[in-house]
Structure 1
């Protein structure tokens, strides 16, 4: 394919969305979004796992482009985009200037996209389909860093809808001497959230106001996040040698399942899978069946969960199964770039709870349903 046929440039609408449909079997699709000497990878959500309401969470240095894009699954999708009062920039679309606290309304047809680019962080932007039609959101940055250095990279991931936010997450980072921390960013819903972070020695308790963010510098290898309200979390891991960042949205503990098919792309090295599961079940998980190079399970301080690494994985498909639910993420590197993505968004093969209605002041409970349509947008 000619990349110009589907690459989204600047702020505005395009007809460059991609919809993929299978009427015979379920699919697992990953997208590799690349820029010059950089790139990131994301796992595409099944169309039945997308929603009608989102909160955007992204990261960008002010000297580089910050962006998110939406794609509509249905015709005549009316989306209201509301910018937080602390948004520190503005942009013009169709002759109208939008800034802090403003709301704009767009209408998209099936597979049509709309992208916003900004010099300011777009975290806290709210998107709501007023006629309850589904759409997807891709968040990222063209080229950015997440700590004071010259290490930069393209970052991208599919944003979970608000109905897929949850209260508990486990995050794992490579235990690197070279870098003091990975950066983690949290976004609260309309009611705000009280979050406890355990695993790095003392417990961190943090109050996050409604639709505001909190940045946590993860200095240890494994951390357990517990919140009294559903939150969205993005993890920005750093490369082993160069410190380039990647971006992914970890899967909440609620959505861990018992089996995954993980695609490891060619051309990368230092590919590894971080795994998370309850400590009481970890002894029966035979890691050597999957990789000859793996770590022992290590329990998170003050938590009932443990983590382990499967290292030096070759490209191809890795099938992972266990009798108990687990989760994790994939991380790979090359000389000039790194990628990171969750190993699965969960509950693809189980009966799920019915969706709850979303309001602008509360967070709905998590829900997804099975379906055959899978689609994504690239930029």
Structure 2
């Protein structure tokens, strides 16, 4: 727990040095090359990548499904039956062929690197303030959850990156990217209709129809469960169907969505109403809240919910940075200046309440991170692990 707390503090401090308003590769005026500030930003960003990818790649037996994945890797290698997608299976076979054996650490390491790169790239390119987005990425526990279900969090990073294509109305690129991601986790296909629905201009009759559909979910649970199992048959006859998630299991997702909803309504006129990107992310949050509250009976509803609420790392900075200042700062404000004298009072209050909520959320996450379904605590690294564990004898 102390390690994760220090990791969060150190990485957020590093993120304060990253300025995504000017590209690391941008040239200074007069053609003198990269400025000192840009060089510092680029170095901090690269250091963040090393820390995030390194921590994830060096872990062993961290995550509730780590051992299951090792078993899956073995079955893929020997040609056994697996339910994982073909793209994932091909990649595992290729890496094992490349390394000359069942080197599962290589597979975990590769996914750690690629997932970190995509998340950082998405936040750097698409957020109005990288520092705030990264702080949310850490404090909401999103980074630490990537230690679980590596192929799912890989495609989750891809969906965050894909939002740019929806906003640019480049729907062909969006669909193609999601179809490629589905080769690693087919549940990602659900974002194609959901993201396109959120991108539409909602009319009153459409909102009423959507509300009626949401209400039908808990009223006709048996029917909708059959629909889900038809779309995702690998859940059939599994322990997931024996777990009653309920509202209690979706509580933290509901709290997150509700908090973002309140924040958005508090500043809707100033930051969302006329801002296409923020409005799109805000609609995704509404869909996420509806899913968590009305479809909590579905197995692993959080997997579908995270496709909708991961955009919080882009929406919340968009709201906070979009609030007007009493004395606008030349060149634009940044997260480090939110509490300065020139910032508006409403903006300061919103920032402080958001920071308090995120810190409490992070504390709760750390207190529950050892439980079944998460199990990212305690942290172990294969660097300090006995050789017997590394050769797979704990599984085979």
TM-score normalised over the length of structure 1? 0.31
Greater fraction of residues in helix: 2
The structure that has the greater radius of gyration is 2
TM-score when normalising by structure 2:
0.30
Structure (1 or 2) with the greater strand fraction: 1
